[in-house]
Amino acid sequence: MIGLRRSPQRRRESAAAAAPHGPLRDYLSTPFPDQGTPLAELPLLAIDVETTGLDVGRDRVIAAGWVPVDGTTIDLSGAQRRIVGMRMDVGDSATVHGITDDAIAAGAVPKEVLVEVLEALAGRVLLAHHASIEIGFLSAACQRVYGAPLVVSCVDTLALQHRVLTEGVGAPADPLPGAVRLWASRERYGLPPYRAHEPLTDALACAELYLAQMAELSLRSAKPLSLKAVQRI
């Protein structure tokens, strides 16, 4: 099946042709990093979204945080955090992400946040822990605003962690439940504990985890790793 799937670059090109003029089309017109890009030179954008729930159709993004990763360096100067304004109540989800209705009432227009994310992501690989959440919600937002889906080139630190835990010599076929979660994964590398569910902190936590995973996987590999070696779409 893998062989029949088109490359992210091809999917991006055809999506760009179909997208309306504007920020989404601009984003889709910027080439993704080539599959052969060495990890030491790969530009990524670690991103985390907080939502009102897990239903992509009904729930909404209420906050997003992102930070660029340039090869082996996290560029903290590019770190951003946005709270999305909306008229609906965040309800019980506030107990998870701690973002209150008041904060959301004062937040930015959803479309403006989406534009900023698209600008930050252009030319970069999307990096997230359990990336389908981020991709699903961002794509749904694009559908609502532009009437077209989001196409990304993506690296998922959850999938990478699964590989880290299962590919080693004598490693179990399946890691223990919970072992691939963000905070457990970080603990394995001795990375500092953070307060969870603040979107910028989660994005930074994911970026740091990626650097650690990359260091470990590079050590196991005979030749320098490229994007292709760590990519899951």
Partner 1 sequence: MVDVELAEVADFLAGHAPFEALPGTVLRDLPARMTSRYHRRSTRLMTVGVDNNDLIVVRSGAIEIRDADGDLVSRGGEGTTAGSTTLVGTNPSRFDVVAIEDTLVLLLPRGVFHELSAAHPDFADHFDAERADRLRMAASSVATNAAGQAILRSSGRDLIRQAPIVTVPIDATISEAATVMTTQDSSSVLVLDGKRVAGILTDRDLRRRVVARDIDLHGPVAPVMTPDPVVAPAETAAVELLLTMVERHVHHLPLVEDGQPIGVVTSTDLMRLERVNAVHIVGDITQQRDVAGVVEMAGRVPRLVEQLVEQDVGAHDITRIVTSVGDAVERQLIALAQDELREDHGPPPRYCWMVLGSRARHEQALGSDQDHAVILADDAPDGAEEYIAALADRVVEGLEAAGYPRCEGDVMATNPRWRQRLRGWRREFRQWIHEPVPDAVLGASIFFDSRPLHGDEALHDRLAEDIATWVPQGRKFLAHLTKEALAHEPPLGFFRGFVLARAGENRATLDLKRGGVGAIVDLARVHALGAGLVSVNTRARLLAAGRVGAIDADTAASLVDALEFISHVRLAHQARQAAAGTWPDSRLRPSDLTAFEQRSLREAFHVVRGAQQTLSQRNPTQYYT
Residues 6+ apart with CB under 8 A from 22: 146
Identified binder of partner 1 from the candidate list 126, 151, 211, 230, rule CB under 8 A: 211
Is residue 215 part of the contact set for partner 1 (CB under 8 A)? yes
Q: What are phi and psi of 62, to 5 degrees?
A: -110, -15
Q: Which is nearer to partner 1, 28 or 64 (CB)?
A: 64
Q: Please report how close the Cβ of residue 114 comes to partner 1 at its closest, in angstroms.
A: 16
Nearest approach, Cβ of residue 7 and partner 1 (Å):
29
Contact present, 56 and 28 (Cβ < 8 Å): no
Give yes or no for a contact between 126 and 27, defined as CB atoms under 8 angstroms apart: no
Position among 51, 80, 93, 185 found at the interface with partner 1 (CB under 8 A)? 80
If one asks whether residue 116 binds partner 1 (CB under 8 A), the answer comes out as no
The residues, any chain, with a CB within 8 Å of residue 170's CB and separated by 6 or more, are none
Specify whether the CB–CB gap between 47 and 126 falls below 8 A.
Answer: yes
Give the contacts of 18 (CB within 8 A, at least 6 positions apart).
148
Q: Which stretch binds partner 1 (CB under 8 A): 11-19, 49-57, 169-177, 196-204?
A: 196-204
Out of 73, 109, 220, 224, point to the residue binding partner 1 (CB under 8 A): 73
Maximal CA-CA distance, the chain: 54
- For CA atoms 223, 224, 227, 233, the dihedral sign is positive
Q: Quick one: which of 76, 88, 105, 109 contacts partner 1 (CB under 8 A)?
A: 76
Distance in Å, CB of 98 to partner 1, minimum: 12
Q: Which of 201, 229, 231, 233 binds partner 1 (CB under 8 A)?
A: 201
Question: Which residues bind to partner 1, rule: CB under 8 A?
Answer: 72-77, 79-83, 106-108, 189-192, 194-195, 198, 200-201, 204, 207-208, 211-212, 214-216, 219
